[in-house]
Structure 1
Amino acid sequence: MALELIAIFAFTALIIFLARKGKEYIIKYGMYAVLTLALMYTTVPLAHMLVLDFETAPYEVDTSAVRDGVFLDTWGDDGFLLYNVSDAETNTTVEITAWGSSNDFTEPIWNMSHPHQIYETDDVVYVTSSEGRLTFTSGAWAWTVDNATGELLGSYACHQWEEGVPGPLGNMIGGCVAAVPSQDAMYLIDSGDQIVRYRTFESNPGVMAFEGRWSVPGFSMGDGVVESHLIDDNEWLLVTPAQTASILLETTSPALGPGLGGLNNATYLMTQVPDENAVFT
């Protein structure tokens, strides 16, 4: 910084000196030379080699470590979330860990375990963030924890048992790909591009009652979730490889209309699709 300031003062003093001596032509052609170098630097290949390049210090990594787990999302100002699924042929569990700089990432700030799957043990876990809460989905389950402590706040089954065999809920196609609690309800999105609202009850944890269902076209939820965040009580921002959209979270669905499978389409407050042959990542 000191070298740059000295150069600025010296250049200014030189301009003043030349002006007092009546050497305006030197100032004029000197400025032409500076502008020529600037234009060449941006338009002519290798022209930057003519400009002085002050020595810079290389970036050095002081410490590094490898954490075992699958990356879920960022957490807090500088942390991140990982998950690990247990080794089993059935009834797997998933461990979520939150890492942050408050302890120099030496160990998780918190961790929690939850049932993962019954048979589809390789199903991916996704997370939706909201104010003070994180909601995870694993296909068979959706559950919410406190963002700061990892304390379990609610857990809901995205499956039901029929004659001893697990299957999707009656109003859903497949399991839960994304979920978020809002307005005393749980909103679930399945792999068939449907969003379903279920009423939840504080006095009966884990119990849900169907209230509405809409189509959310364009997401291709079967391809997974890139980012998911509850903006406010009635607006859900969802990003998949195929589409980004802000979904209006309504409380009741109208009579069946012309949408997918007779469903009415959910209202998109904003939508964007990637360029041709591209995806959101």
Structure 2
Amino acid sequence: MTLSPILLLAIALLILLGLLFYWLIFISEGAYLGRGAVRRLYDVGASSYDGVKQYDGLSEATMLANPIFSRLEESSGPTATLLDVATGTARLPVALFHLPFYEGELVGLDLSRQMLQQAARKTRDFADRITLIHHPAVPLPFDNEAFDGVACLEALEFMPDRRAALREMVRVLKTGGWLFVSNRTGSDTHFFPGRVDSDQAFERLLAELGLTEIDTRPWQSYYHLVFARKGTAPQTAPSMGWQRAFRCLNCGTSGQMARQGNGMQCAHCAHAMPVADGGVGV
């Protein structure tokens, strides 16, 4: 039986559409479909996310938490405050909280409320040291130089404008503090056109943003871990607490947020932000 040219063309078109769909949804995880698509995909997969990743506790401590803590301690001491952008299910906060010498406070920010629900469940024993905020990475709802450290792992390539996201992270990072980010590497980078750089190009990008002491090291199969300092010297001023730099998600006023019951409230506009399983509501 000979297939007609039109039928063959239709079959080829269906195969191409199937491959395109697979790339858009499963490989690039909605990155080229906009922020809303990324959020929905992570909402759907939140409950099974950690099961798929299968994090190893020893590796998390030696390859992630310890190197990050050593830099935070060097620049700001053991009580350093850290903002984790795209915190997901709180992978980094959990790893840091299990270090015996880290005494700091963390803020985890994510676009997916369902991922934040998983993060809240996993960090329940450390609830007095972590605040989860449902908010995109651009713009960040904090004043300049609010945090001793800022992290963003396994997420930059899924953001609509990663340069803008990095600028925001540098803006809220204190002078002398450390930025911790991942750069996608490996065999699948060609599936992310315009979203990933070589290590050398990524280091140049960070340098253009005013970062120094840039150090790239192997981390995972598809990622390198990158450390970079804002400025050239360790911090000297003590931390005043990130809450004073938190901008109300309703009126944008900073320094007016206070704990009230099971949540926070703005003294300027009285906007209440209940802290529930999904973090702080917008």
Tell me which of the two structures has the higher relative contact order, counting C-alpha pairs closer than 8 angstroms and 6 or more residues apart. 2
Q: TM-score, normalised by structure 1?
A: 0.22
Structure with the higher fraction of residues in strand conformation = 1
Q: TM-score, normalised by structure 2?
A: 0.22
